[in-house]
């Protein structure tokens, strides 16, 4: 895996609540350029909220969120666009457009940005589908694809615009073990091939260890633990053990 360099994403003292429910209490997190960091946490702990804050779909109540050195908090849609151009996201359900073909789905971001000629867009779509192991399926519809294939097409779409950062929201949820392993292998391969920064949100601890340079754990609204993934797998600290095996006495050990 790529050795960490300068900071790509920095979350500074972020507070966020929805009504009476407190999600973050001064959350801090840094993701180094070129690394893969996986965020773990109980259901309802706000893992997916973190991704929405990073791309400006949600705003924190206070604190800062820097992407490539620019604080995205408070930016309007026009100012957010160049930031979002640097970030690709694989949504939990792949979020493909059913009315579009696979090729049109992958090309969507390029067309929206008016990037390249038709031939260049076509070539880029083919290249990205090749990267995820699905060459030649541009004419198929999402309805013809398995769950694992949809995830890979969603990843190809995230890659098409050439992002510096890729955000993965539960990339293996709902997949059988073989497809989950394939997605995890793709995360590692693409990080090594393209030198992207990857931030992964997952419940899959084995997958987290397989793809990550570091793992972090959200606990009661803060990042309670950040450590080397190999070290965490070899000798998990008590807090991580509690997450792995479950603790029924915890207030947050239920769905949001």
pTM value > 0.75: yes
**What whole-number percentage of the chain has pLDDT above 90?**
61
**27 close to 221: Cβ distance less than 8 angstroms:** yes
- Give pLDDT, residue 198: 95
Angle at which helices 147-160 and 177-194 cross, to 10°: 10
User: CA dihedral in degrees (163, 196, 77, 123; nearest 10)?
Assistant: 10
Cα separation, 173 vs 53, whole angstroms: 21
**71 close to 108: Cβ distance less than 8 angstroms:** no
Domain-wise residue ranges, the chain: 35-56+76-245
Cα separation, 158 vs 166, whole angstroms: 7
Convert the pLDDT of each residue in 66-94 to its tens digit. Answer: 999 999 999 999 999 889 889 998 888 77
- Give pLDDT, residue 245: 66
- Give pLDDT, residue 190: 87
Convert the pLDDT of each residue in 169-203 to its tens digit. Answer: 999 888 888 888 888 998 998 888 889 999 999 98
Convert the pLDDT of each residue in 162-177 to its tens digit. Answer: 999 999 999 988 888 8
Average pLDDT, the chain: 88
Cα separation, 247 vs 218, whole angstroms: 15
- Give pLDDT, residue 201: 93
Whether pLDDT at 105 is above 90: yes
Convert the pLDDT of each residue in 31-58 to its tens digit. Answer: 999 999 999 987 777 888 999 999 999 9
DSSP secondary structure letter of residue 195: -
Angle at which helices 118-131 and 102-112 cross, to 10°: 120
Exposed/middle/buried for residue 36 (C-beta within 10 Å: 0-12, 13-18, 19+): buried
What is the arithmetic mean of pLDDT over 133-137?
92
Residue with more model confidence, 210 or 255: 210
- Coil, strand or helix: which one is 254? coil
Convert the pLDDT of each residue in 219-250 to its tens digit. Answer: 889 999 999 999 999 988 888 887 776 654 44
Confidence of residue 255 (pLDDT cuts 50, 70, 90): very low
Quote the tokens at residue 124.
């880029």
- What is the DSSP secondary-structure string of 25-94? EEEEEEEETT-EEEEE--TTSSHHHHHHHHTTSS--SEEEEEETTEE-TT--HHHHHHHHTTEEEE-TT-
**What whole-number percentage of the chain has pLDDT above 70?**
93
Cα separation, 109 vs 147, whole angstroms: 22
The candidate with the shortest Cα–Cα distance to 5, out of 246, 196, 148, is 196
Backbone φ and ψ for 196, nearest 5 degrees, come out as -80, 160
CATH of 35-56+76-245, one of 3.30.70.100, 3.90.1710.10, 1.10.1840.10, 3.40.50.300: 3.40.50.300
């Amino acid at each position: 895996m790529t050795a960490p360099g300068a900071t790509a994403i920095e979350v500074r003292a972020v507070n966020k609540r929805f009504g009476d429910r407190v999600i973050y209490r001064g959350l801090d997190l840094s993701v180094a350029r070129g690394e893969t960091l996986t965020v773990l946490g109980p259901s309802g702990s706000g893992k997916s909220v973190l991704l929405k804050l990073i791309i400006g779909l949600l705003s924190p109540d206070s604190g800062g969120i820097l992407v490539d050195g620019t604080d995205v908090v408070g930016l309007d849609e026009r100012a957010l666009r160049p930031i979002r151009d640097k970030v690709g996201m694989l949504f939990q359900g792949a979020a493909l457009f059913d009315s579009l073909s696979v090729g049109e789905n992958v090309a969507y971001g390029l067309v929206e940005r008016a990037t390249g000629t038709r031939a260049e867009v076509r070539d880029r779509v083919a290249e990205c589908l090749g990267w995820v192991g699905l060459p030649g399926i541009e004419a198929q519809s999402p309805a013809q694809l398995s769950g694992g294939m949809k995830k890979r097409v969603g990843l190809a779409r995230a890659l098409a615009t050439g992002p510096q950062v890729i955000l993965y929201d539960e990339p293996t949820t709902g997949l059988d073990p073989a497809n989950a392993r394939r997605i995890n292998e793709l995360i590692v391969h693409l990080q090594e091939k393209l030198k992207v920064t990857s931030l992964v949100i997952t419940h899959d601890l084995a997958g987290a260890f397989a793809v990550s340079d570091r793992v972090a754990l959200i606990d009661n609204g803060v990042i309670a633990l950040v450590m080397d993934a190999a070290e965490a797998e070899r000798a998990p600290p008590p807090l991580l053990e509690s997450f792995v095996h479950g603790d029924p006495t915890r207030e947050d050990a239920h769905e949001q």
